[in-house]
Structure 1
Amino acid sequence: MATAAKGLKHKTMASAAAEEIRNRILAGDYAPGFQLRQDGLAEDLGMSRIPIREALVQLESEGLLKILPHRGAIVVQLTPDEIEELFNMRLLLEPFLFRRSVPRLTRDDLKALHQIQTRYAASIDELDIDVWNELNTEFHLTLYKHARSPRVFLTVQSLLVECDRYTRIQLSTIRGDRGRAVAEHAELLRLCEHGAFEEGARLMREHIDHIRRGLTTMHSRDEVAEALEG
Structure 2
Amino acid sequence: MNIVVRSLSDQTYEVVRRRILVGAMQPGTAVRQDIIAAELGVSKIPLREALGRLEQDGLLQSYPNRGYVVRDLSTDEASEVFALRLKLEPSAVAEACRRATAKDHAAATAALEALEAELAKPDGDHVSFNRAFHMALVRPGGHITFQLMERLQILAERYVRVHLEPNGRDERASREHREILDAWIQGKAKVVEALTANHIRGTLADLKQQLAG
**TM-based fold match above 0.5:** yes
List gaps (5 residues or longer) in structure 1. Answer: 1-5, 222-230
1:138 — aligned with what? 132
Q: Is the 8 A contact 2:95 2:189 kept in 1?
A: no
Percent of aligned pairs with the same residue?
31
How far residue 155 of structure 1 moved from its aligned partner, in angstroms, is 3.3
TM-superposed CA distance for 1:64, in Å, is 0.5
Cα distance in structure 2, aligned partners of 1:73 and 1:157 = 24
After superposition, residues 1-230 of structure 1 pair within 5 angstroms as 6-124=1-119, 126-128=120-122, 130-150=124-144, 152-175=145-168, 177-221=169-213
CA displacement at 1:188 relative to structure 2: 1.0
Specify the SS of the correspondent of 1:82. helix
Aligned length: 213
The one-letter code matched in structure 1 to 2:111 is: I
TM-score (norm 2): 0.92
Q: 1:107-133 CA distances to partner (integer Å, 9 max, x unpaired)?
A: 122122222223333433x25453332
| Alpha carbons 1:129, 1:168 under 8 Å: kept | no
Asked whether the 8 Å contact 2:37–2:43 carries over to 1, the reply is yes
Paired residue type of 2:74: T
Alpha-carbon contact 2:111-2:136 (below 8 Å) kept = no
Partner secondary structure for residue 146 of structure 1: helix
**Structure 1 range deviating more: 57-66 or 156-165:** 156-165
> What is the alpha-carbon distance in structure 1 between the residues aligned to residue 49 and residue 71 of structure 2?
18
Rate the CA distance shift 1:145–1:46 in 2: closer, same or farther, 3 A: same
Deviations along 1:51-74, one digit per CA (max 9) or x if unpaired, are 101111111111001111110101
The Cα RMSD (Å) is: 1.7
Aligned-partner Cα distance in 1 for 2:147–2:35: 31
Measure, in 1, the Cα distance between the counterparts of 2:32 and 2:161.
Answer: 26
Q: Give the CA deviation at 1:78.
A: 2.6
Give runs of ≥4 in structure 1 deviating > 6 Å. none
The change in CA–CA distance for 1:18 and 1:123 in structure 2 (over 3 A counts) is closer
